[in-house]
A and B are shown apart, each in its own frame.
Chain A
Amino acid sequence: GQQLNQSPQSMFIQEGEDVSMNCTSSSIFNTWLWYKQDPGEGPVLLIALYKAGELTSNGRLTAQFGITRKDSFLNISASIPSDVGIYFCAGRDQAGTALIFGKGTTLSVSS
């Protein structure tokens, strides 16, 4: 089946640093989504992307839908302690198919 490769698996950074993570797929996607999950809670939608090349920001977060439609990245600028959590990419290849998820990037921020 389809696979999403998300990297890096984990990151340890200092407060104030910028962070970048990405996802690649084995097939073309029409939708890319980025979620964040805090301990004991469900994933929360951060950014949704629907067009190749689309670049969308949500506060300090910026995500892009790759031109090839097989990848996406998420950047976090000027990280703060509350950015700690697990970030998931998710994608859908066409209308009506299930959303599949990457394995997640665990972010740790030290102050």
Chain B
Amino acid sequence: KAGVTQTPRYLIKTRGQQVTLSCSPISGHRSVSWYQQTPGQGLQFLFEYFSETQRNKGNFPGRFSGRQFSNSRSEMNVSTLELGDSALYLCASSLGGGINSPLHFGNGTRLTVT
């Protein structure tokens, strides 16, 4: 079974630009969560989507947004990039997102903002 696939693996953008990251979950998984990982803050929850609806949202500004498609694939968008947005963005999928649904992570997209 293929794992969680994230594209692209690496991205370099300039301040003020916007970026879209893509995530394909494990087949059959309907929940997709996004996390930002930085050395100082660790893994910070961005948002979770289930059946095309945002189910949970972390404490990030509105510049961070996401969506999920009918095939469960998900995208996240960051607008008006800031230097502090440089991070590893991780996508994780689970069957249903309940307490007995552990997250399975992709290898992330490394975003560098210059």
Contact = CB atoms under 8 A, between A and B. Distances in A.
Contacts, number: 56
B33 A45 contact: no
B99 A30 contact: yes
A83 to B, nearest CB: 19
Nearest to B59: A1
Contact of A97 (B56, B90, B92, B103): B56
B106 interface: yes
Interface residues of A, number: 27
B108 A96 contact: no
Nearest to A97: B56
Interface of A: 1, 30-31, 33, 35, 40-45, 48, 50, 88, 90, 92, 94-104
Given A45-B102, A98-B56, A101-B42, 13 more contacts: A1-B59, A33-B103, A42-B106, A42-B107, A43-B105, A45-B103, A45-B104, A48-B102, A50-B100, A88-B43, A97-B56, A98-B33, A99-B45
